[in-house]
Chain A
Amino acid sequence: MRWLLLKDLQILRRSPLLVALLVIYPIVVSVLIGLALSRGPEKPRVAIVNEVPAGGEVISLGGEEVNTKQYSDQLYAAVDPVPVSSRGQAEELVREGEVLGALIVPADITTKLQSGLEPATVEVLYNAEDPVKAQLVQDTIKSQVQDANAALTRKFTDVALGYLNLVVSGGDFSFLGRSFDVLGLGPAEQVLRQAQAKVPPNSPEARQIQQVISFARLARENLDLSDEVLSSVGQPIRVDARVVEGSGSAALSSFAVALAVTVSLMFVTLLLAAGTLALEREENAFRRLVRGLVSRTTLLAEKVGLAAACSSIVAVVMLCGLALFVELDWARFPLWVAAAVAAALGFAAMGAAIGALAREVRAASLLAFMVSLPIAFLALVPSGAVSGALYDVTQTISALFPFDPALAALGAALDGSGDLLGPLVHLLVLTLAFGGAARLGLRRFG
């Protein structure tokens, strides 16, 4: 077998197009995925007109000073801000397409926020020539304004709750530089009870005092409940997220890495296994080899082994390359290798079956491409995207090919987000099944 391996490696070395494909394809995929993951989405370019005078960003709410600059800074960080000095200049930039939108922050925004009597308004201008980009600007600004609204609402709620506590329990209150001692409903009730004790029972005065005491108690008890009401107003809808299917610990970046490596592994292995096996027939060498020099099973094992070894190396190198862009756990390196080798064996056996079926290198390559794309597509269909019955069909079909378990194995190996043993066993079963199919195909191969 080693002489056949050596021969195939020599042929590979002298097939520059194939080697270029094997080397360049994973590199391109790795770099693209790496850049996409490390750079994140492009920020929209937005003109900013800030008419708030310097030092005017600070507002006073319930005696507490709030610097609104922290909220504007959050917004500016979410976009690529282009500071401009006037509304006209901003409009011109939007119209000319220099920026995707403009945000105009009026001078009176802090006054309105502080008074609490009238909502403050910011103005946003869009260039809608590109609906996708316009939507991006709208979504980004809306999202940031909603965040600021939520934060300010919490502040207002805190202030309102402070006032309510003052009314219920009493205490000191300062307004326009003067301090006031507020009695509060609780202490007022106490004072009234003391006054009631000093008047004759059942007298009209005692009954009137009792009415006031009842009112004070009722008001205090209901205002106590208003804490929770106001908190609900500040955040009427909360999100309580729970994972019921799949692993919640799988990071998007490691999933993207697993997907990139699996796709590359699939193409490289299928092409290599199918191509090298079909080449034996195309060169008329197969029949010469199997007339006593090499058994069909040995030849098959050599092709599967060669393709799996080459593509495993490619996959591991690719993972190391992606680790430059994405944080991967190097302590799990042996698991990466195990998953890559198992996946490569599964794809190699499938590739050999394709090669045995197609019999010619070009036909085998074409068939490998045609088969692999829909298999990858089916395996990536999420539940809920199609009807339940159709999803079950896609899952069943995916389970018959190595892509789905390979993706699961690599995902589990990278971040421990799922079971690794199951996909490895699945891949082993598929390797044996496709190997058997390829062996059957070789009976009529020559």
Chain B
Amino acid sequence: MTQSPARPGTDAPAPGSGAAPVLEARGVSKRYGARHAVRDVSLAARAGELVAIIGPNGAGKTTLLSILAGETSPDGGTVSRPPTEIGWVPQQPALYGRLTVAENLRLFARLERCTDVGAAVERMLAQTGLGDRARDRVETLSGGNRQRVNVAIGLLSEPAVLLLDEPSTALDPGQRERLWEFLRGLVEGGTAIVYSTHNVQEAERHAHRVVVLADGEIVYVGSPRELEDAVGASGLGFEAAFVEFLRRRGH
């Protein structure tokens, strides 16, 4: 948890690459009727590591994250940690609009059975910079601030792993930048973060490793630079390499 992370998006080895993963999924599968949403997926995240899950729409990113978070039961496979030990930030803020920011944090801190509820709330208000909005009702907040509260709730129990589903969706560039600054701070503190995004540049810029998911299956795991090299499109940039990678695989 105290290991310094390598700069994301480089060839440097992923942080803690030699250490035991703090979250590990093995052979996870999920079907909805005849459709395979996720098929035999295995992945791991280590302390201080940022893992991005990318892929085309309908690839199974949200399903995979919700299985890792314990929100959806898999049809097969295992996840190494119980849901209560994993921080979870769903794509849509899961907050009570008629409660204030502090009341939302306090409620979930109690439900998470935090030992010192007041301290946990104060800590998250300070970390997310929402101290001055603590008494405001969530329904009056901007989308960016709601997402900050959403993230704060995921972090209340100081989890070793934080899962975020499309965390920057609906945020303006400034809010997005502040969110990533905050998340980088967590990673520097040793938290493992696994996030899904359809913004390929966001994956290239922030992730130590990317996991490419297509039709519910993992088709690539590695650093963004390695993906560019694998496609042989180093000069084109990561987004073009990603599109070419999928095209060659028929996606």
Determine how close the nearest CB of chain B comes to the CB of A393; give it in whole angstroms.
37
Would you give the 0/1 interface string for B80-124, flagging 1 where the beta carbon is closer than 8 Å to chain A? Answer: 001110001010111111110001000110111000000000000
Instruction: Tell me if A425 counts as interface (CB < 8 A to partner B).
Output: no
Beyond A288-B108, A293-B111, 15 extra complex contacts between A and B, CB < 8 Å: A3-B110, A7-B107, A10-B99, A14-B98, A283-B94, A283-B95, A284-B92, A284-B94, A284-B95, A285-B96, A287-B71, A288-B88, A288-B90, A291-B70, A294-B111
Instruction: Tell me if B203 counts as interface (CB < 8 A to partner A).
Output: no
Once A and B bind, how many residue pairs between them come within 8 Å at the CB atom? 57
By the criterion CB–CB under 8 Å, are B83 and A292 in contact? Answer: yes
CA distance A446 to B103 in the complex (A): 23
Would you give the 0/1 interface string for A12-33, flagging 1 where the beta carbon is closer than 8 Å to chain B? Answer: 0011000000000000000000
Instruction: Tell me if A386 counts as interface (CB < 8 A to partner B).
Output: no
Instruction: Tell me if B69 counts as interface (CB < 8 A to partner A).
Output: yes
Q: Which residues of chain A have C-beta atoms less than 8 A from B95's C-beta? A: 283-285
Instruction: Tell me if A199 counts as interface (CB < 8 A to partner B).
Output: no
Q: Which residues of chain B have C-beta atoms less than 8 A from A292's C-beta? A: 70, 82-84
What are 16 A-B pairs with beta-carbon distances under 8 A? A10-B103, A11-B98, A14-B98, A14-B137, A283-B95, A284-B92, A287-B71, A288-B90, A288-B94, A290-B71, A291-B69, A291-B70, A292-B82, A293-B112, A294-B111, A446-B71
Give the contacting residue for A3; candidates B93, B107, B153; CB below 8 A.
B107
By the criterion CB–CB under 8 Å, are A291 and B96 in contact? Answer: no
Q: Which residues of chain B have C-beta atoms less than 8 A from A294's C-beta? A: 111
Instruction: Tell me if A421 counts as interface (CB < 8 A to partner B).
Output: no
Instruction: Tell me if A289 counts as interface (CB < 8 A to partner B).
Output: yes
Would you give the 0/1 interface string for A273-310, flagging 1 where the beta carbon is closer than 8 Å to chain B? Answer: 00000000001110111111110000000000000000
Determine how close the nearest CB of chain A comes to the CB of B43; give it in whole angstroms.
19
Give the residue among B69, B103, B111, B137 with the most A Cβ atoms within 10 A. B111
Interface residues on A, range: 10 to 19
CA distance A3 to B92 in the complex (A): 23
CA distance A288 to B97 in the complex (A): 15
Q: Which residues of chain B have C-beta atoms less than 8 A from A290's C-beta? A: 71
Q: Which residues of chain A have C-beta atoms less than 8 A from B97's C-beta? A: 283
CA distance A47 to B57 in the complex (A): 84
CA distance A10 to B107 in the complex (A): 11
Determine how close the nearest CB of chain B comes to the CB of A417; give it in whole angstroms.
44
Determine how close the nearest CB of chain B comes to the CB of A443; give it in whole angstroms.
10
Would you give the 0/1 interface string for B110-144, flagging 1 where the beta carbon is closer than 8 Å to chain A? Answer: 11100000000000000000000000010000000
CA distance A11 to B82 in the complex (A): 30
By the criterion CB–CB under 8 Å, are A7 and B88 in contact? Answer: no
Determine how close the nearest CB of chain A comes to the CB of B100; give it in whole angstroms.
9
Determine how close the nearest CB of chain A comes to the CB of B167; give it in whole angstroms.
14
Given the known inter-chain contacts A10-B98, A10-B99, please indicate yes or no for A291 contacting B88, CB distance below 8 A: yes
Closest to A294 in B: B111
Q: Which residues of chain A have C-beta atoms less than 8 A from B103's C-beta? A: 7, 10
Give the residue among B82, B108, B112 with the most A Cβ atoms within 10 A. B108
CA distance A283 to B94 in the complex (A): 6
Give the contacting residue for A11; candidates B66, B71, B94, B96; CB below 8 A.
B96
CA distance A14 to B96 in the complex (A): 12
Q: Which residues of chain B have C-beta atoms less than 8 A from A7's C-beta? A: 96, 99, 103, 107
Closest to B109 in A: A3
Closest to A293 in B: B111
Q: Which residues of chain B have C-beta atoms less than 8 A from A285's C-beta? A: 94-96
CA distance A253 to B184 in the complex (A): 71
Give the contacting residue for B94; candidates A3, A14, A15, A287; CB below 8 A.
A287
Given the known inter-chain contacts A283-B94, A291-B71, please indicate yes or no for A11 contacting B99, CB distance below 8 A: yes
Q: Which residues of chain A have C-beta atoms less than 8 A from B110's C-beta? A: 3
CA distance A291 to B107 in the complex (A): 15
CA distance A294 to B95 in the complex (A): 15
Q: Which residues of chain B have C-beta atoms less than 8 A from A291's C-beta? A: 69-71, 83, 88
Given the known inter-chain contacts A7-B96, A11-B96, A446-B71, please indicate yes or no for A284 contacting B90, CB distance below 8 A: yes
